[in-house]
Chains A and B, each alone.
Chain A
Amino acid sequence: MRVLAAMSGGVDSAVAAALAVEAGHEVVGVHMALSRNREQFRAGSRGCCSIEDAGDARRAADVLGIPYYVWDLSERFEDTVVADFLSEYEAGRTPNPCVRCNEHIKFEALLDKATALGFDAVATGHYAQVVTREVAVAGPDGEAVTRTVRELHRSPNDAKDQSYVLAVMGQERLARSIFPLGGFASKDEVRAEAERRGLSVSNKPDSYDICFVSDGDTQGFLKARLGARTGEIVDTEGEVLGEHEGAYAFTVGQRKGLSLGRPAADGKPRYVLEVEPVSNRVVVGPAELLTVDRIEGDRSVWLADDVLAAAGWEPAQAGPVPDGAASAQVSGWFDASVQVRAHGAPVPARVRAVVGQADDGAADGARTEVELTGETLRGVAAGQSLVVYQGTRVIGQSTVQRAYRAQRAASAAR
């Protein structure tokens, strides 16, 4: 295969490229330039976007003996990932820019350009596994044909597993992606592989923070880009407790940085319960009001047709819903687990897929409804990515639209 290896300059993508070369593919390394104003040197844990990182990627490509190019995707990145980041915070939601980058940049802009240029697949250094199996399905004339089903699974390396941020790519893009690090159980193994091949990035520190917030100060970044907008901090009764400089800087579940002058009557810590963008108000209250047992997501992407089919989702039934259609199409409930944060633990749930108008008239048709059946979750904010799993397998991904307070907690609070 002709494989484009996305090379950030870090150790993971360098080893992924090396493994693609050793698997016999014809590999070309590409570094994505995601900002026009890049820092000369890497700073702290933001290890992907400096000119020094581009140089590290080039050296890794030299060592592997593969061609290397830099593609300028900065405009696209600004128009999608950064714009989404700002508008989501502005709307009182909590976005995950890494998910949007995978959706719009790595597995759209990069992948589509690669495909157009004649590449068969893009290889990245993500920790996740693709499992393929053959299934018999009915052909157009009712005959049995074999189809390859690709399943996305968690990495055996729990600490590094990135299936959560990859789920958004959907099935078709999964078929054009390879994750050579999928089977690695630890980062140390990957570093050892890098060292064994003489890749100088073997000791490079991991990157964690949001790559385009160069100093790691997200609130400062939001304030600089969105401007200060003074508003009120209120409790659930509407009593004003303090002021803020922009509701967008708050996240549901946040405790620090509220700067409230006086303590709550019961002396318990207060958390952000709601961010109201229109009134520019931030509602705070006790932790128990953050408990959630029902979640609705929109912009859903499914990666497991067989699971949906088993839940009664028939292809004929699931055609596009005409505008103004009164009723939604709904799959049956199926058991799964859901995860709402990159490094959060999955919790048991029953899940169903819905296409069509939501009860409240929500615009996007591809929704996911989740009822937690075991543990509850705390502080689920709109905008977060919700990923549905069965065991290690990714079933689908959705963006949290609404989270409902658990009834028992809500009544306890009253």
Chain B
Amino acid sequence: MTATPAEPSHGAYLDHAATTPMSPAALEAFVAELTQTGNPSSLHAAGRAARRVVEESREAVAAALGARPSEVIFTAGGTESDNLAIKGLFWGRRTTEPHRRRILVSAVEHHAVLDPAFWMAEHTGAEIVLLPVDDAGRLDLDALRAELAAKGDEVALISVMWANNEVGTIQPVQEVVQIARPYGIPVHSDAVQAVGQVPVDFAASGLDALTLTGHKLGGPMGVGALVAKRGLPLTPVLHGGGQERGVRSGTLDTPAIRAFAVAVTEAVAGRAERAEHLASLRDDLVRGVRAAVPDAVLRGPDPLADPSLRLPGNAHFTFPGSEGDSLLYLLDSAGVQTSTGSACQAGVPQPSHVLLAMGVSEEDARGALRFSLGATSTPDDVARLLDALPQVVARAQAAGLASSARPGASPRTRPTATTGRPA
């Protein structure tokens, strides 16, 4: 059986930042490997064959990212890599330098970084410092300098994402590394959204650890990696069979790892060309949204002013007077799939901590919608969105008015007329 990836189902798929369709090459590798038997930790022939696949994959991932193979730790994805980085670095450091208790993270990190950091604060005596960002979501480097000048010798680690998942802002990661270096503080970056979209070179970045995941770049879900410098003190989070140099136990998922490596290789090799294609589509989308809905506010750096500050596939707007979940529903029923961009709690979108950190009011933040393009995006997808948008926004605004009506504002039915007047 030959598997082919299905078209992203149900119309225009503008949510590649949530997950991407699998690339045909990755899918082929995945399916082929699923037919094989062998635990990479086994010493017999079948085990050796599987081990070879894993190590070749490790070399491929390392080569694509400017890292050494021994620096690649396979994990079950972005969240696990971030947890390993935050907890592992904090604990690893604590043995030798117990006074380093501060964890510095940007205020716009993904929950996979923020939540382990706050968990460490609650359970292990860490102190969290949220580093502020400007109104485009870009890290305030002066705030970082000031923080380190004041208490640099108490900092255990710094984590600043390479690019933001909601508003697409690219962070000054290299500057962070340079600022941190004199203090001897390890720096981690969540590059889940960046790999395959912008150039990512681990060695050149000077980073100590970097997170990436398969399903945001054409690979399968449930596989990713933490790239970590050799010699970095990393305490394991998962204990067991001692795989991945004892840092990450658990039987290696050979098919997923092979498909992941194929996807990373492909995404990085085709990056420049794809980025150009995405940026051009995205710029059309931004211009089109502005024309269709003049009061929509672009959030994050304006790509038409300086494309280098933003992911090429990302656009993000707030629509005044509308609620993001109304927009999402109406576009979904018009066959256009988007996201409010922020985390849900049991399906309820929460006002985005990223937008709030950028100084957006809670009310404006409720009207957020993210459009994210990927390898399979076409001008048709953008056209479908722009076709549907004016009517969708008008409707969502009406619904916003209906649901913001305060109690008592709606007329009560009284026995003052018998003609069934609409309330």
Contact = CB atoms under 8 A, between A and B. Distances in A.
Interface of A: 28, 31, 33, 38, 51, 54-55, 58, 67, 69-74, 76, 79-80, 104, 108-109, 112-113, 115-118, 147, 170-173, 175, 299-302, 305, 308-309, 313, 315, 318-320, 331, 353, 355, 365-366, 396
Contacts of B328: 69
Contacts of B329: 28, 67, 69, 117
A308 B407 contact: no
B6 interface: no
Contact residues of A: prevailing secondary structure = mixed
B418 A318 contact: yes
B401 A51 contact: no
Contacts of B3: none
A133 B349 CA distance: 43
Contact of A305 (B333, B395, B420): B420
B395 A117 contact: yes
A69 B333 contact: no
Contact of A117 (B326, B348, B414, B423): B326
11 contacts: A28-B329, A71-B325, A112-B402, A115-B402, A116-B398, A170-B423, A175-B420, A308-B418, A320-B416, A355-B415, A366-B412
Contact of B415 (A71, A79, A104, A300): A300
Contacts of B418: 305, 308-309, 313, 315, 318
Nearest to A33: B348
A394 to B, nearest CB: 13
A41 B282 CA distance: 42
Contact of B421 (A72, A172, A302): A172
Interface string B317-352: 000000001101110110000000000101111000
Contacts of A320: 416
A313 B348 contact: no
A299 B412 contact: yes
A58 B347 CA distance: 10
Contacts of A54: 346-347
Interface in B382-423: 395-396, 398-399, 401-403, 405-407, 410, 412-423
A409 to B, nearest CB: 31
Interface of B: 325-326, 328-330, 332-333, 344, 346-349, 395-396, 398-399, 401-403, 405-407, 410, 412-423
Contacts, number: 113
Nearest to A79: B407
Nearest to A108: B410
A173 B423 contact: yes
Contacts of A108: 410
A105 to B, nearest CB: 10
Contacts of A302: 413, 415
Contacts of B344: 70
Contacts of A31: 347
B403 A67 contact: no
B413 A33 contact: no
Nearest to B350: A72
Contacts of B399: 113, 116-117
B39 to A, nearest CB: 35
Contact of A170 (B346, B347, B413, B416): B413
A70 B412 contact: no
A108 B413 CA distance: 12
